[in-house]
Amino acid sequence: MPGETLLEVSGLQAGYGPKKVIFGVDFHVRKGEVVGIIGHNGAGKTTTLHSVFGTHRCESGKVVYGGTDITGRSAKKNVRDGMTMVRAERFTFGELTVKENLQLAGMSVKSSADREARLEKVYELLPILKERSRQQASKFSGGQQRLLSVGMALLADPRLIILDEPSLGIAPGLVERIFDTVKGLVQDQGISVLVVEQNIPQLLRIVDRVYVIRSGRVILEESVEQMRARDQYWDLF
C-alpha cells in the first residue's frame, strides 16, 4: 500500500517567456504509488513534469521531494537523489552502443551484482535491447530508442520514475508489458511513478490515482476506481 508522501507539488507556475502554461498546479505522489496525469494536448502536462524534474524553470510554487524543498534544483542533482525521467522525445546517447547506454544509466547503482540483475530484468522486458546490445543507439528507429530510454530509467535505481507518454511510438503489446513491469517494480521495491499518458485504458491498469489538467490547472483528482467507473472521458478534456 502507498505510504508517506514522496513528492508534493503546490502552487506550481511555469511558462515560456511571457506565455504562462501552468497556473498554480497542486498534486502529490506517495511512496509506492503510481499517479497518472491526463489532459488535452497543450494542457501543460509535459511542462509540469519538466518543472518538477528540474529541466524547466519554475516561476513560482514549491516542489518538495523526500521532505526537501527542491524547487529550482537542477535535474542532475535530482537524478543523484533517485529521481529519473523518461521524456516523450527520444533521449539516448546515439554515439554509444545500446549496452553502453544501459551501463551508463546504471552507474548510480553501487553494487555490480544489483546492476547485472537490473540489466537482466531490462533484457527480459525488452529483448531487442539484448539482441542489439552492440549496436549504436543512433541506428535504432524512433520507437526502438524509446524502448532504450525506458530501459535506462529502470536501471538507474530510482525512488521516483517520471514517465512522459511511455506508449508513444511503441506497439500495443509491448506497451502492456512495459506498464506491467513498472507496476511490478512498484509492488516489489516500493518505487513511486508519476506518468503522463493519453492511453487511458492502459493507464488505468497501473495507477492508484489520476489528476486531470485542463488549460494549465488541475481540475480533478480521482481514485482509479472512480475513474474506471466513468462511461466516458471526453468531457474531462
Find the mean pLDDT for residues 159-186. 82
The answer to whether the pTM exceeds 0.75 is: yes
What's the rounded mean pLDDT across residues 109-114?
A: 84
Range of the domain at 117: 83-157
> Which of 138, 157, 176 is a domain's end point?
157
- Kindly state whether residues 4 and 54 are assigned to the same domain: yes
Residue-wise pLDDT for 196-205, tens only, equals 998 899 999 9
Quick check: is 41 in a domain?
Answer: yes
128 with 147, same domain: the answer is: yes
* R_g (Cα) of the chain, nearest Å: 17
- If pLDDT is split at 50, 70 and 90, which confidence band does 7 have? very high
- Does residue 146 sit within a domain? yes
Does residue 34 lie within any of the structural domains?
Answer: yes
User: Which candidate, 51, 25, 28, places its Cα nearest to that of 214?
Assistant: 25
CB contact set of 108 (below 8 Å; sequence gap of 6+): 79, 80, 156, 157
| One domain, residues 59 and 91 | no
Q: How far apart are CA 186 and CA 131, in angstroms?
A: 27
Same domain, 75 and 10: yes
Tell me which of 134, 157, 180 is where a domain ends: 157
Query: Quick one: 77 and 2 in the same domain?
Result: yes
Selected residue with higher pLDDT from 191 and 180: 191
Does residue 177 fall inside a structural domain?
no
Question: What's the rounded Cα separation, in Å, for the pair 160 and 173?
Answer: 25
- Are residues 141 and 207 both part of a single domain? no
> Binning pLDDT at 50, 70 and 90, where does residue 45 land?
very high
Mean per-residue pLDDT over the chain, rounded = 90
Q: Region of 17 please: left (phi>0), alpha (psi -120 to 50) or beta.
A: left
Q: For residue 144, which of 162, 121, 127 has the smallest C-alpha distance? A: 127
Say what the pLDDT of residue 221 is: 97
Listed residues 99, 133, 157: the one ending a domain: 157
Domain annotation covers residue 181: no
Residue 184 counted as domain residue: no
Same domain, 76 and 90: no
Give the DSSP letter string of 140-198. Answer: S-HHHHHHHHHHHHHHT--SEEEEESTTTTS-HHHHHHHHHHHHHHHHHH--EEEEE-S
Q: What is the DSSP string of 44-82?
A: SHHHHHHHHHTSS--SEEEEEETTEE-TT--HHHHHHTT
1 pLDDT exceeds 60? no
For residue 174, the model assigns a pLDDT of 73
Burial class (CB in 10 A: 0-12, 13-18, 19+), 107: exposed
**Residue 60 falls inside a structural domain:** yes
Residue 78 and residue 108 in one domain: no
What pLDDT sits at residue 149?
87
- 27 and 57 together in one domain: yes
44 inside domain: yes
Q: Tell me the average pLDDT across 224-228.
A: 95
Shared-domain flag, residues 72 and 106: no
What CATH number corresponds to the domain at position 66?
3.40.50.300
Look at residue 108 and tell me whether its pLDDT is greater than 80.
Answer: no
Give yes or no: residues 40 and 89 share one domain.
Answer: no
Tell me how many domains the chain contains: 2
* Same structural domain, 104 and 94: yes
Query: Could you tell me what percent of the chain has a pLDDT over 70?
Result: 99
